[in-house]
């Protein structure tokens, strides 16, 4: 079982306590009605889906309940780092 470091609990916890919540650092546009259809589509649906290093949101749902960000390698499934929501991209 993979152990994931929760930046809020500050310890490594078993992966079944966590849920993936998709790509991280996607900011909702301040003015949705001012967006073109293409921009809005990009915001809603278009994701990076990289092979390798990927910034993701995770939630410690069966623990402290908090969302945080993680850098995970999509090939090896190794977590490079995790950090609190709101902190700059690493």
Partner 1 sequence: MSEALIRYEPVSDTPFVAEGVRISLAPPMQRHALRARNAEDLEGLLKVKIPRKIGASQGGIMCLGPDEWYFRNQAGATIPTGEGLPVAITDVSERSICLIIEGPRASEILMSGCPLDLGQFAVGRATRTMYETVEIIIMREAEDCFHVEVWRSFSAWLWIAMTTAARH
Q: Which residues bind partner 1 (CB under 8 A)?
A: 1, 8-10, 13-14, 16-17, 62-66
The least distance separating partner 1 from the CB of residue 69, rounded to whole angstroms, comes to: 15
Cβ distance to partner 1 smaller for residue 16 or 46: 16
The least distance separating partner 1 from the CB of residue 87, rounded to whole angstroms, comes to: 14
Buried b (16+ CB within 10 A) or exposed e, 39-67: eeeeeeeeeeeeeeebbbbbbbeebeeeb
The DSSP element (H or E) to which 84 belongs, if any, is strand 79-84
The least distance separating partner 1 from the CB of residue 41, rounded to whole angstroms, comes to: 35
Cβ distance to partner 1 smaller for residue 54 or 59: 59
The least distance separating partner 1 from the CB of residue 90, rounded to whole angstroms, comes to: 20
Residues with Cβ within 8 Å of 46's Cβ and at least 6 positions away in sequence, in order, are none
Cβ distance to partner 1 smaller for residue 17 or 42: 17
Burial category of 77 from C-beta neighbours within 10 Å (exposed 0-12, middle 13-18, buried 19 and up): exposed
């Amino acid at each position: 079982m993979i152990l994931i470091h929760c930046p809020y609990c500050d310890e490594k916890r078993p992966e079944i306590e966590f849920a993936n919540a998709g790509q991280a650092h996607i900011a909702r546009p301040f003015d949705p009605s001012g967006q073109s259809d293409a921009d809005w589509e990009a915001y809603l649906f278009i994701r990076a889906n990289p092979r390798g290093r990927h910034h993701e949101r995770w939630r410690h749902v069966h623990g402290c309940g908090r969302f945080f960000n993680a850098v995970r390698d999509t090939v090896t499934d190794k977590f490079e780092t995790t950090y609190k929501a709101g902190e700059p991209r690493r």
